[in-house]
Amino acid sequence: MQNTDSRRKTWDEIRDVVVIGSGFAGLAAAIEARTAGVSVAILEKMKTPGGNSVISDGGIAAAGTLMQQKAGIHDSPELMYADMIKAGMGLNHPDLVRELVEKSNEVFQWSIDCLGVKYLDRVDQFGGHSVPRCYTALNISGSTIIKQQLAKVRELGIELRLQTYFQTFIRNVDGRVSGVLARNCYDRKNAESGNDRCIKARKAVILAAGGFGSDVAFRIAQDPRLCEKIDSTNKPSATAEALKEALKIAAVPVQLSHIQLGPWASPDEKGFGVGPGFSDYIVFLYGIVVDPNTGKRFVNELADRKTLSDAILNIGKPCIGIADAKAVKQSGWNIDKCLRKGVVKEFYGLQELASFYGLPYAKLKHSVDQYNRYVENKVDEEFGKQILSNALPINCPPYYGIRLWPKVHHTMGGVQINVRGQVIDLNQQPIQGLYAAGEIAGGIHGACRLGSCAITDCLVFGRIAGRNAAAEKS
């Protein structure tokens, strides 16, 4: 057995709980463990905390909330469960999904009451959710949540160690994870930088190192189509080294090849950018997406991300999302930034839009007229899109267009965990002393994660892992 205590004469430092990663999941775990009264160190390899969480849109999903009740929306954990399982094509681990949906309202409320996160006064519905149940943090940014988590981390006196790179687990002779080998003063530009530190975790280590969307080699190993030519919305730090260390000590890999592409992304900007806001909040809800060759619709725009991304990839080139002025007004969304960056274009007529994108105008006009009839009759006869109660026909200039081409966004796969957040080994036994939460844990979303469910996942399982790690015997 490698990296065991027996090889180590001394520890450089000792804490009760060591958390790897400072995104939503790691910070939630640390807050919960520290609140339970134990000492906690968070190790973060980058110069700034927050991982992908800090650049996210800050959309969180929860069922049965006060905001839904006020808006007259009937929802329940059962309905959210059914939506997640449907999108996940049944690959989701049912007990984990059950835990997530049942705790979704509680964790959303916790973010407000305990962390002080403020949300926009609206409840949105994204593809694959059968009712509006998504709440967006103020400034439409995950940084709003991360800022509040970091404030709580400071208030509780939790140690947050930046530029500290987790290298490997250290285990007892009986296989229990007893600590980590990390590197202080690490600089990402120099792989060999920093000094080794052995940090003992008296109670447990919590792995919250995020997904591997930017690890091109590792993602190609899982899905060879996802080479460097496919852009990603993730930060460059979203790499697989921590996950690989868990696999080395026999953690079960779950569904690693299920890598989500964001169908709302535009090839006309790098990374996540500003276009997804226009696609998700306006085009998919109130507009249409057409095939650039035929000017025809080809998919239910409110389908889950996998269905939509696969449909666009099948067309083989960027497709065109279209909405009109009424749709923008109806969404309550501000698209100035999208227009300024040139990702969304404005047109005074459909013909002008068609000629800019090289679409056959007559066919496009036919598609729009046909869709408008579906809106009036409240039934999409072609693709079964749910026509929202406030949807209006697309006929009010200016018209807006966006080119859509999917980008790697989320890695659904990761290590297997149980509902207590413990990492499971190849014999289906918990690896003693090791917990995981957030994007590095697999099986929750199955084949496809629904929009806004990752933040719920990170906060629910981060808190569970933190609480259970703190309760371990020293």
455 binds ligand FAD (CB under 6 A): yes
User: Using CB under 6 A, which residues numbered 375 to 434 contact ligand FAD?
Assistant: 410
CA distances from 98 to 73, 84, 93, 126, 430 (A): 21, 10, 9, 20, 20
Q: Closer to ligand FAD by CB, 204 or 288: give it.
A: 204
- Stretch near ligand FAD under the rule CB under 6 A, chosen from 24-32, 194-202, 307-315, 388-396: 24-32
Least Å distance between CB 61 and ligand FAD? Answer: 7
| Cα 37 to Cα 230: distance, rounded to the nearest angstrom | 45
- CA end-to-end span of the chain, whole Å? 22
Is residue 464 a contact partner of residue 235, using CB atoms and an 8 Å limit? Answer: no
57 binds ligand FAD (CB under 6 A): yes
Q: Decide the pairing of beta strands 399-404 and 407-411.
A: unpaired
Length of the chain: 474
Q: Closer to ligand FAD by CB, 223 or 269: give it.
A: 269
From the candidates 305, 403, 449, 463, give the one annotated as an active-site residue.
305
218 binds ligand FAD (CB under 6 A): no
33 binds ligand FAD (CB under 6 A): no
Which residue in the set 3, 19, 22, 150 belongs to the binding site for ligand FAD (CB under 6 A)? 22
Which residue in the set 31, 80, 181, 242 belongs to the binding site for ligand FAD (CB under 6 A)? 242
Burial class (CB in 10 A: 0-12, 13-18, 19+), 393: middle
Q: What is the dihedral of CA 97, 100, 104, 107, to 10 degrees?
A: -170
- Stretch near ligand FAD under the rule CB under 6 A, chosen from 202-210, 301-309, 382-390, 423-431: 202-210
Q: Closer to ligand FAD by CB, 403 or 410: give it.
A: 410
- 305 in catalytic set: yes
- Stretch near ligand FAD under the rule CB under 6 A, chosen from 230-238, 351-359, 364-372, 376-384: 230-238
Task: Give the contact letters, 246-285, x = binds to ligand FAD (CB under 6 A), - = no.
Answer: --------------------------x-------------
Q: Decide the pairing of beta strands 195-207 and 430-436.
A: parallel
Least Å distance between CB 426 and ligand FAD? Answer: 22
Q: Residue 382 has which token pair? A: 């072609």
Least Å distance between CB 416 and ligand FAD? Answer: 16
Which residue in the set 17, 18, 19, 20 belongs to the binding site for ligand FAD (CB under 6 A)? 20
- Stretch near ligand FAD under the rule CB under 6 A, chosen from 62-70, 155-163, 231-239, 465-473: 231-239
**Residues contacting 313, CB < 8 A, separation 6+:** 261, 406
Site size for ligand FAD, by CB under 6 A? 41
Q: In the chain, count of helices (H) and strands (E)?
A: 15, 18
Q: Closer to ligand FAD by CB, 79 or 392: give it.
A: 79
Q: Closer to ligand FAD by CB, 112 or 396: give it.
A: 112
Is residue 295 a contact partner of residue 320, using CB atoms and an 8 Å limit? Answer: no
210 binds ligand FAD (CB under 6 A): yes
Least Å distance between CB 262 and ligand FAD? Answer: 8
Is residue 413 a contact partner of residue 442, using CB atoms and an 8 Å limit? Answer: yes
Which residue in the set 16, 17, 21, 459 belongs to the binding site for ligand FAD (CB under 6 A)? 21
Q: For residue 258, is it left (φ>0), alpha (ψ between -120 and 50) or beta?
A: beta
Q: Closer to ligand FAD by CB, 107 or 394: give it.
A: 107
In one-letter notation, the amino acid at residue 218 is F
Give the Cα-Cα-Cα angle 281, 282, 287 (nearest 5 degrees): 140
User: Using CB under 6 A, which residues numbered 155 to 194 contact ligand FAD?
Assistant: 165-166
Is residue 414 a contact partner of residue 436, using CB atoms and an 8 Å limit? Answer: yes
In one-letter notation, the amino acid at residue 214 is S
| Cα 54 to Cα 9: distance, rounded to the nearest angstrom | 39
Burial class (CB in 10 A: 0-12, 13-18, 19+), 223: middle
Q: State which residue has the least CB distance to ligand FAD.
A: 23
Binding site for ligand FAD (CB under 6 A): 20-26, 43-46, 51-53, 55-59, 142, 165-166, 208-210, 233-234, 237-238, 241-242, 272, 410, 438-440, 452-455, 458
